[in-house]
Amino acid sequence: MKVLAAMSGGVDSAVAAARAVEAGHDVVGVHLALSRMPGTLRTGSRGCCTIEDSSDAWRACDKLGIPFYVWDFSDRFAEDVVDDFISEYEAGRTPNPCMRCNEKIKFAALLEKALALGFDAVCTGHYAKVIRDEAGNPELHRAADWAKDQSYVLGVLTHQQLEHCMFPLAETPSKAQVRAEAAERGLTVANKPDSHDICFIPDGDTRGWLAERIEMTPGKIVDQDGNELGEHTGAQAFTVGQRKGLRLGRPAADGKPRFVLEIRPKDNKVIVGPEALLAVDELRGIRVSWAGRPISEVGLGTEFDCMVQVRAHGDPVAAVAHVEQQADGVCQLVTRLVEPMRGVAPGQTMVVYQDSRVLGQATIDSARSTAWDPAKVS
């Protein structure tokens, strides 16, 4: 096949490209430039799209003897990822920009351009599997190495996108093996640290970064019963589950820490309370999509058993789910958790599984708890 290898500049994408070449495919490497000002992206192990990453990607392609290009996706990245990140915080939600980048950039804009140029597939260094069912339809599954599994961040992929995805690291038992293979192949990124954190916030100060882009207005911090405890400088700077930075000045009656339970931008209130009230039993998600062909049970109102995961490396929780249509015609994915889950924030992505298969995903619109009634806070 004619394969476009997305080269992040890391060891995983380099080894994935090498395996695609070794398998006999016609491979071309491409690095995505996501900013016209690369210095505004995080460097070292905290970035994935910087100048140094581009150089590392070029060196890997040169070693493999394949063509290398840099594609400028900075405008799309700014609109679909950065602007979305800001608007979600303005609405009091906590977004996952890496999910949005996978959805809008790496497996939408990139794949769209690749297909237009005659490529058959896009190859990446993600740890996940594409398995064909009996009818030949692609399904997304967890990788062999569950410790490195990245199927969660790929939960946004559609059936059409999975038809053109290649994940050569799917069966690799460990990251250590990938690094060893990179060293054997003479790739200079063999020992390069993994990237993490938000690439477009250079100093890691999310609150400070948002303060320059969102109008922050002082408001009240109240407890779960509506009692006023203090003031904040901007509700959008907080996230559900947050403990530090509340600056209340006095301890709770029981002497235990308080946590952010809810953010209400419209009322400009931050609601805090004991850790126990972070536990939620029901998640409702919007922007629902299915990874591959949906299972038959996803018709409106039909319940199905699943596992729900709300963080890239979080533990999945057993749940019963169904799709529900709202009065405005928007469909929601509703999951009732068998065991409560703590610290879930609107804006996070819930990915639903059956065994190792990813069924689909939704953006959490609300997380509800039977232990606390938000309506008590007017």
267/70 Cα distance (integer angstroms): 45
Angle formed at CA 349 by CA 330 and CA 12, multiple of 5 degrees: 135
Contacts of residue 136, defined as CB under 8 A and 6 or more positions apart, other chains included, come to none
The encoded tokens of residue 209 equal: 């970064």
Q: Which residues of 338-368 are buried (b: 16+ CB within 10 A; e: fewer)?
A: eebbebbbbbbbbbbbeebbbbbbbbbbbbe
Q: Given 48, 98, 123, 199, which residue is catalytic? A: 199
Half-sphere exposure of residue 203: CA atoms within 13 angstroms, side-chain side:
5
Sheet holding 2-6, edge to edge: 68-72, 26-33, 2-6, 121-123, 165-166
Q: What are the residue ranges of helices labelled H in 97-219?
A: 97-101, 110-116, 159-162, 175-184, 206-211
Q: Identify whether 165 is a catalytic site residue.
A: no
Q: Identify whether 101 is a catalytic site residue.
A: yes
158/74 Cα distance (integer angstroms): 23
Q: Given 101, 123, 165, 306, which residue is catalytic? A: 101
Catalytic (active-site) positions: 101, 199
